[in-house]
Amino acid sequence: SLSPAGAQTALILVEPPWTPPVLWDQVTLTCQGSGTTGATTWYKDGQRWGQQGHNHFPVTEKGTYTCDKRGTGRSPSMRVLDDMLVLQVPARALLEGDTVTLRCRG
Edge-to-edge strand order for the sheet containing 56-58? 11-15, 28-32, 56-58
22, 83 contact by CB (below 8 A): yes
How much is the pLDDT for 34?
75
Helix (H) or strand (E) holding 44: strand 40-44
Contact 27, 80 (CB under 8 A): yes
Answer whether 16's CB lies under 8 Å from 28's CB: no
Domain of residue 71: give its range.
11-105
Task: Specify the CATH number for the domain of residue 52.
Answer: 2.60.40.10
Residue 77 lies in a domain: yes
Residue 2 lies inside a defined structural domain of this protein: no
Count of structural domains within the chain: 1
pTM of the model: 0.82
Instruction: With beta carbons less than 8 A apart as the criterion, state whether 87 and 106 touch.
Output: no
Domain membership of residue 67 (yes or no) is: yes
Q: What is the pLDDT of residues 37-61, one digit of tens each?
A: 667 889 999 999 875 778 888 999 9
